[in-house]
Structure 1
Amino acid sequence: MQIVSINDFIRQSFDFLVIGGGTAGLVVASRLAQDGKYTVGVLEAGGTANGREDVQIPGYLAMSLGSEIDWKFQTAPQTGLGGRSVSWPRGKALGGSSAINFMTWMRGAREDYDGWEALGNSGWGWNELLPYFKKSETFHTPSDSIRDEEDLRYDPEAFGDSGPIHISYAKEYSPSNRHWFKALNSLGVPTNSAHFAGSNVGAWTNVNNIDPRTMTRSFATNYCSLAGSNLHILTDATVQEVILDNIDNECVASGVRFTYKGEEHVALASREVILSAGSIKSPQILELSGIGNPEILSRAGIAVKVDSPMVGENLQDHNAVHIIAEVDPELENRDDLFFDANYAAEAREQYRRDQTGPLASIPSSYTFVPLASFMSQDTLERLHSQAQALTGFSPAKKTLMEQRLRHADRFGYAEYIFRLGAAPMAVTGKKFGTLFQILQYPFAVGSIHIQPPAAEGDDPVIDPRHYHGPRGEIDLEVMMESTRFARDILLAPAFSSVVKQIFHPPASSYANDEYMKKWITDSTAVAFHPVGTCAMGGHEGIRGGVVDERLKVYGVKKLRVVDASIMPLQISAHIQATVYAIAEKASSMILEDVAQN
């Protein structure tokens, strides 16, 4: 990677400056620098993550959370969660959250992206995005024996074959994977043979961004190899603001003010500044630069340069709860890596020797289930009526959100993932498994804003508004009903050779509405998929979003946002692959626009 010193960086004349060397930022920077025509600078607040075992080795997933490569954000206390704050990990290193996430590689439903386009964001539908999904990835086909043994089903034409991110199926699977499908099929959930091709309803074995040649994480730093010496990356650089000039009564971005080891510096860009700091930091940086809601900026002592009321609004994430079950103690279990020193040492040696064993794979048993699979028609109609009465959404956005309830058999509303292991839980003589249950289409919408007085080192206020107000009431009821379906999965006869009993919450509690609501509010976390805080405005323009369909910031020339924050509506998927596609598409648009000017 082209990491440079502070002296080398500030001596450069840049065509483009990219704020954030994360998932999207490294894609954009590398693609813009790829043909050697433009000089590109990247400012990353963290350091490097390559070479760290807690990043590279699949079986160590989640071990980097809370470390120095995690921003370690916390939400504001949530009234809908009984006053709790929730942890929001985000990557603080080159590669961003692609360096610390759980390596899940999937796409949303066709309808998710077509919905973005229906809001007035031309070019962002499924068909237009698909080439950019493919451009980011190289799919490695599984061996015939694994494909047949695990009944792996996929459409080979849906995958890319020459992108920087290597994706693959695992080479080994736990016996629980096959029983997972039998359990779901017995409950009326079909196996999905085209989970990568625009339809995510059903059960499948998922691919992961793991390079099968080395059995290591494949993440955004791979993109850096596309560029040469014209890509300059400065780590440990914290951006204070985008420099905005007034030229002929127009606001124009000309560079960035940042600190490095306590000293302030300025870097200028002759063509564009590209903000790729993620759904939490991107709106914060816009507000620190004077772009945002005048009331919020004034309270923080920031002079208003662009009145942009939606900066930091429209925050959406996936709500998640973890259901714990006691499992067959004879099954190889991820918890053994933490509680059995001999097992952990043997696994480490096996991985070192031939890249196999428990450290070489991660959970791959997935399903996305529509509401019609577990909700009565009366309940669906009542929730739909509640949704119709909601206010605060644009008519177009409200229509799309209502459709997900109205067409309750078409959308993967609840996600379930099963894995053997429930660390850090330990009970002598017992082993556990975890069923992750994740709400895909939340109605609750939150915000992220700077707090007064706004200082460089301060975190913004993250307020997702979990289960808050009438919108949150819909989310809470869906979570309660989907938790009951989770119980059905775990207790399905086809899963009995894996699950012995439900441990938490106890099986006897699921019929008690008040108990379940309290358990959900006490247990809810997030799936680390925040989106929407600098969303595309579509037909609503600056009153509905922060950027246009070319990702240009409303009211500012030569400034774009390129990351998950531009997503106007949450999708039914883990967002990683979509962020890569967004960045690939943005890179093409930027190069097109530059060529025309």
Structure 2
Amino acid sequence: MHDYVIVGAGTAGCVLAARLSAAGASVALLECGPPDRRPEVRVPAAFPRLFGTEYDWAYTTESQDGLGGRALYWPRGRTLGGSSAVNAQIWTRGHPADYDDWDVPGWSHKELLPCFERAEKGAVRLEALRSPHPSTADFLRACARDGMLPLAEGEGCGPVRVTQHRGRRWSSADAYLRPALGRPGLTLLTGADVRRVVLREGRASGVEYLTADGGLRYAEARREVVVAAGAVGSPVLLMRSGIGDPDGLEDVAVPLPEVGRGLLDHLMVPLVFGPGERAERIRPSSNNAEALAFLRSSAGAEAPDLEFLWMPVPFLDHGRAAPGTGCTLAVVLLRPGSAGRITLEGGEPRIDPGYLADPADLRVLLSGVRRAHRLLDDPDLAAWAGEPLTPAARSASESAVRLGAETLYHPVGTCRIGPVVDERLRVHGVRGLRVADVSVCPAIPRAHTQAAAVVVGERAVDLILEESLEDP
């Protein structure tokens, strides 16, 4: 028996385990994947080599009508640190309006700012890239000549800040979990496939999980079960436990129709080019995506709705193609109007992001692709771009967007604050059960979501500890 059973040692789960155990609680942290021992975890530029391995859930979406009937590959981290162990390490807070627009007590930008600062000044290591590619400076100069200001408050252009320490990846497991592993109150189990939350008389009493050898075990929670399995895993676990839409579940314990709904993701249109007049390989300490710009598609946009992401590599097939020289300018839809859904089939997820179902999303992306082409006409930047290798690199057309768009790996929203959990992240209708990861986001931040995941974990611990003091 433990005070808290946490499902998922991902970006947020590591925060929860470390801070709750530091407060003196006994914690069981259950992770389905293996320990993060492969050397590719540490080498920043090597993260694509983890895709499709045991470190990756390697999901596939349903065929997307908005993308010409294509089904997209969705890598998600399946190891200690979760997706922070297999990502491009970018740390961006987002725009202040991202959190203010949620209109949720306790979750405004001002109220979350101490959580961001605590993470950034504490466990999280943030660095500038040690050896940025020379094209990255040219990209930023081109952005400045195009009228973009230096990055501030989630708008403008600048080099990325990355979760690295001395040129090596610094995942949430490195930042939070490893320093906590020696505590007697913290138990870490890898290879623990949690199948359901056990409910007794309206309360979450613990979880059932399969061990690596196929045995069924039970971990009991004296105080709470905290689900931190991500935007796919968290709704799936709730639904397996009978918490969800009655129309889609065989056995319903708690009817919550919005579980799995509200799925949002950043759609990316990559303009990929082979080597140009200038060509140079990146260094291993590169994260592959070295600079970015947050911009507005029109004067009427209330905040940035597009991102440009500069990669001094030809980023093809999620970076799994043979390495070479070239470049990628990715156009990212920051505030999609299209929402999707995760449902359950045979106990496993069916993922339908509903990409480009809202016609406004296509209009914004097309404007971004056209502006990206204009930016690439800058003489300094054009020297790095050779043969166009993707549809949108050849043309700023609707078909090019539909045939070339891919995920930027930022799904959120499937256990949203409001219809699924309350503002303290407690699941409606169940005592002793919380969700604490980016699945609780009511809207997607205009940012890479690693920072938001850490901050949700930080905020969740604050809420849990407040309640434990009130009810010891």
The question of a shared fold, defined as TM-score above 0.5 by the shorter chain, is answered with yes
Is 1:233 the counterpart of 2:188? The answer is yes
| Equivalence for 2:97 | 111
| Equivalence for 1:555 | 429
The alpha carbon displacement at 1:361 in A equals 2.2
Rate the CA distance shift 1:495–1:522 in 2: closer, same or farther, 3 A.
same
Is 1:465 the counterpart of 2:354? The answer is yes
Rate the CA distance shift 1:411–1:432 in 2: closer, same or farther, 3 A.
same
| Equivalence for 1:83 | 69
| Equivalence for 1:19 | 7
| Equivalence for 1:389 | none
Normalising by the residue count of structure 1, what TM-score does the alignment of the two structures yield?
Answer: 0.75
| Equivalence for 2:417 | 536
Within-5 A mapping of 1:154-173: 160=121, 163-173=122-132
In 1, are the aligned partners of 2:340 and 2:353 still within 8 Å (CA)? Answer: yes
- How far does the alpha carbon of each residue in 1:327-373 deviate from its partner, in whole angstroms, 9 at most, with x for none? 43543224xxxxxxxxxxxxxxxxxxxxxxx1122232110110126
Within-5 A mapping of 1:237-386: 237-246=192-201, 251-260=202-211, 261-297=213-249, 301=250, 303-334=251-282, 358-362=283-287, 363-372=289-298
Within-5 A mapping of 1:172-187: 172-187=131-146
Q: Which of 114, 120, 144 is 1:131 aligned to? A: 114
- In structure 1, C-alpha distance between the alignment counterparts of 2:275 and 2:11, rounded to whole Å: 36
Partner of 1:62: helix, strand, or coil?
A: helix
| Equivalence for 2:362 | 476
Partner of 1:443: helix, strand, or coil?
A: coil
- In structure 2, C-alpha distance between the alignment counterparts of 1:366 and 1:564, rounded to whole Å: 22
Which amino acid in the other structure matches residue 145 of structure 2?
A: S
> Rg: which structure is higher?
1
Cα RMSD, aligned residues only: 2.0
- In structure 2, C-alpha distance between the alignment counterparts of 1:182 and 1:226, rounded to whole Å: 43
Q: Which of 323, 338, 360 is 1:444 aligned to? A: 338
- In structure 1, C-alpha distance between the alignment counterparts of 2:17 and 2:180, rounded to whole Å: 10
Is 1:39 the counterpart of 2:26? The answer is yes
| Equivalence for 1:200 | 154
- In structure 2, C-alpha distance between the alignment counterparts of 1:580 and 1:326, rounded to whole Å: 36
Rate the CA distance shift 1:449–1:233 in 2: closer, same or farther, 3 A.
same
Is 1:499 the counterpart of 2:385? The answer is yes
- In structure 2, C-alpha distance between the alignment counterparts of 1:440 and 1:555, rounded to whole Å: 33
The alpha carbon displacement at 1:216 in A equals 1.0
Which amino acid in the other structure matches residue 479 of structure 1?
A: L
- In structure 2, C-alpha distance between the alignment counterparts of 1:312 and 1:560, rounded to whole Å: 15
Rate the CA distance shift 1:503–1:47 in 2: closer, same or farther, 3 A.
closer
Which amino acid in the other structure matches residue 165 of structure 2?
A: D
The alpha carbon displacement at 1:96 in A equals 0.7
Rate the CA distance shift 1:556–1:505 in 2: closer, same or farther, 3 A.
same
Aligned length: 463
- Structure 1 runs not aligned, ≥5 long: 1-12, 138-159, 335-357, 374-406, 511-515, 538-544
* Segment drifting more, 81-90 vs 524-533: 81-90
Is 1:53 the counterpart of 2:12? The answer is no
Partner of 2:5: helix, strand, or coil?
A: strand
* Segment drifting more, 441-450 vs 79-88: 79-88
Rate the CA distance shift 1:319–1:288 in 2: closer, same or farther, 3 A.
same
| Equivalence for 2:467 | 593
Partner of 1:421: helix, strand, or coil?
A: coil
The alpha carbon displacement at 1:508 in A equals 6.7
Q: Which of 384, 388, 405 is 1:524 aligned to? A: 405
The alpha carbon displacement at 1:423 in A equals 5.1
| Equivalence for 1:8 | none
Partner of 2:272: helix, strand, or coil?
A: strand
Which amino acid in the other structure matches residue 314 of structure 2?
A: A
Rate the CA distance shift 1:264–1:200 in 2: closer, same or farther, 3 A.
same
The alpha carbon displacement at 1:59 in A equals 2.1
Which amino acid in the other structure matches residue 335 of structure 2?
A: Y
In 2, are the aligned partners of 1:491 and 1:501 still within 8 Å (CA)? Answer: no
Rate the CA distance shift 1:32–1:86 in 2: closer, same or farther, 3 A.
same
Rate the CA distance shift 1:295–1:107 in 2: closer, same or farther, 3 A.
same
- In structure 1, C-alpha distance between the alignment counterparts of 2:425 and 2:313, rounded to whole Å: 41
In 1, are the aligned partners of 2:92 and 2:451 still within 8 Å (CA)? Answer: yes
- In structure 2, C-alpha distance between the alignment counterparts of 1:107 and 1:557, rounded to whole Å: 32
In 2, are the aligned partners of 1:58 and 1:360 still within 8 Å (CA)? Answer: yes
Rate the CA distance shift 1:493–1:424 in 2: closer, same or farther, 3 A.
closer
- How far does the alpha carbon of each residue in 1:374-394 deviate from its partner, in whole angstroms, 9 at most, with x for none? xxxxxxxxxxxxxxxxxxxxx
The alpha carbon displacement at 1:114 in A equals 0.7
Within-5 A mapping of 1:411-426: 411-422=303-314
In 1, are the aligned partners of 2:279 and 2:326 still within 8 Å (CA)? Answer: no
Normalising by the residue count of structure 2, what TM-score does the alignment of the two structures yield?
Answer: 0.94
- Structure 2 runs not aligned, ≥5 long: none
Percentage of matched positions with identical amino acids: 34
